[in-house]
């Protein structure tokens, strides 16, 4: 029985790990894949943004649908179908004969990647007061490992061929599907299931409520702007470093792994030390100041080694996210915390949709021959400006008592 329970936790850990791997594994190689269909730099930049955004958009739309389906039919069938679909979809993208098929495959990947909502619900089903914290800690660990390993795996395998990262992701998903098919029991009993209601399928509904005038509205906007600025790395890091420093996919993969690792160290350790000592409001201000400095430095770097030198101190900006979430949470009644946290996740997803389109658009415009001046680092200046706006809002909103 103990081994069976452990196997269930391991399965959910692996499922969430694979979902996050799917986000990062193609980032280092995606520009080269798009160049198979067009060598125009503007075309590559724009479509790179489209590919990142469509994944986030489909996750945003599909998450409540898959969650409701699992409430009605059980977690197991939704998880298994998602894993099988992801495996077959990565094979489709590996050998996509056209950009349209590749784009369709990425959209499907966003739908199957939304299964992390169901995986989280499964973990809640099998947890009790004795293991709830440790089990949900496994979810956080899966996210961290996935975002660290994804770019490194994509960059390393991509050197052998552009289709190999997709095939690697397909094999991992299909193996986990087979593992779950024989090992994974259903976690939601029939008496605990409920009917699907249309209102629960609408991801926009809760967003309209959170932007109504309230004591937390300023903090909500600061939260959105901070997360929007943070989308600059996944949006243009590959394009920027390949254009300015001639980095290979492997170079990009290892550098993004360094980003993920340094961020994980701050989120997992330093936030517990810094925020209690200086307070949430000061932590957010400090984070914004670090971000403005770091983004500006990234934009003006003249050599590839400088990007690594900036990465280490810039990771300290990671204290801003937890601090602003704490400020928001303190001003919301306990009975509304669940709805609040779900809405904040949705807002984060929206920034992952908008950010790539904005940053790749800037990058494309200022690297074209017709640009008023050539400046590939302009996207990072844009991120710095967004951070400055968030800081201004926070200061005008004043420190709460």
Q: Tens-digit pLDDT profile for the chain (401 aa)?
A: 556 667 777 777 777 787 777 777 877 888 888 888 888 888 888 888 888 888 888 888 887 777 778 777 888 888 888 888 888 998 998 888 888 898 899 888 888 876 777 777 777 777 766 666 566 666 666 776 777 788 888 888 877 777 888 888 888 888 888 888 887 777 766 766 667 666 656 666 656 666 777 777 888 889 899 989 999 988 899 899 999 999 988 888 888 888 877 877 776 677 778 888 888 888 889 999 999 999 999 999 999 999 999 988 888 888 888 788 777 777 666 545 555 655 676 787 788 889 999 999 999 999 988 889 999 999 999 999 999 999 999 888 765 55
Helices (H) and strands (E) in the chain, counts: 18, 0
Tokens of 133: 């914290």
Cα separation, 180 vs 16, in Å, equals 13
How confident is the model at residue 333, as a pLDDT? 63
How confident is the model at residue 192, as a pLDDT? 63
Q: Which residue has the tokens 């479509």?
A: 47
| Residues constituting the chain | 401
Q: Domain 202-401, CATH 3.50.30.30 — does that match?
A: no
Cα separation, 69 vs 72, in Å, equals 5
Cα separation, 143 vs 289, in Å, equals 27
Task: Name which CATH class applies to 1-186.
Answer: mainly alpha
How confident is the model at residue 335, as a pLDDT? 46
Residue 331: CB atoms within 10 A of its CB come to: 14
Work out the burial of residue 238: count CB atoms within 10 Å of its CB; fewer than 13 is exposed, 13-18 middle, 19 or more buried. buried
Side-chain-facing half-sphere of 250: CA atoms under 13 Å: 5
The residues, ordered by sequence, that sit 6+ positions from 97 with a Cβ below 8 Å of its Cβ are none
Give which of 99, 54, 34, 96 is closest to 238, Cα–Cα.
34
Same topology, domains 1-186 and 202-401? Answer is yes
Domain range annotation of the chain:
1-186, 202-401
Cα separation, 179 vs 5, in Å, equals 14
């Amino acid at each position: 029985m103990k081994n069976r329970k452990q196997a269930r936790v391991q399965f959910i850990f692996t499922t969430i790990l694979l979902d996050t791997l799917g986000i990062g594994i193609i980032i280092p190689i995606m520009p080269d894949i798009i160049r198979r269909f067009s060598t125009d730099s503007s075309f590559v930049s724009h479509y790179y943004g489209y590919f990142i955004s469509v994944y986030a958009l489909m996750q945003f739309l599909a998450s409540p649908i898959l969650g409701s389906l699992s409430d009605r039919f059980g977690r197991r069938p939704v998880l298994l179908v998602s894993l099988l679909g992801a495996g077959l979809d990565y094979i489709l993208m590996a050998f996509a004969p056209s950009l349209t098929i590749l784009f369709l495959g990425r959209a499907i990947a966003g739908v199957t990647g939304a299964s992390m909502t169901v995986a989280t619900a499964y973990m809640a089903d099998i947890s009790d007061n004795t293991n709830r914290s440790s089990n949900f800690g496994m979810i956080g660990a899966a996210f961290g490992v996935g975002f660290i390993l994804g770019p490194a795996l994509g960059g390393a395998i991509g050197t052998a061929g552009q289709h190999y990262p997709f095939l690697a992701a397909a094999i991992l998903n299909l193996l986990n599907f087979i593992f779950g098919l024989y090992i994974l029991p259903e976690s939601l009993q029939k008496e605990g299931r409920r009917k699907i209601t249309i209102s629960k399928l609408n991801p926009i509904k809760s967003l309209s409520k959170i932007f109504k005038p309230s004591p937390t509205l300023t903090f909500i906007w600061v939260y959105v702007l901070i997360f929007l600025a943070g989308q600059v790395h996944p949006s243009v890091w590959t394009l920027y470093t390949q254009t300015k420093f001639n980095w290979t996919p492997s170079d990009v993969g290892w550098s993004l792994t360094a980003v993920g690792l340094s961020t994980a160290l701050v989120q997992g350790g330093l936030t517990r030390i810094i925020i209690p000592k200086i307070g949430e409001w000061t932590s957010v201000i400090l984070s914004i100041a670090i971000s403005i400095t770091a983004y500006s430095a990234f934009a003006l770097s003249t050599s590839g080694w400088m990007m690594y030198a900036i990465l280490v101190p810039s990771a300290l900006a990671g204290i801003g996210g937890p601090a602003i979430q704490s400020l928001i949470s303190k001003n919301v009644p306990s009975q509304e915390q669940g709805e609040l946290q779900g809405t904040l996740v949705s807002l984060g997803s929206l920034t992952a949709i908008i950010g790539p389109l904005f940053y790749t658009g800037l990058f494309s415009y200022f690297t074209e021959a017709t640009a008023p001046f050539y400046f590939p680092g302009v996207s990072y200046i844009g991120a710095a400006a967004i951070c400055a706006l968030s800081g201004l809002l926070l200061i005008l909103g004043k420190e709460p008592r």
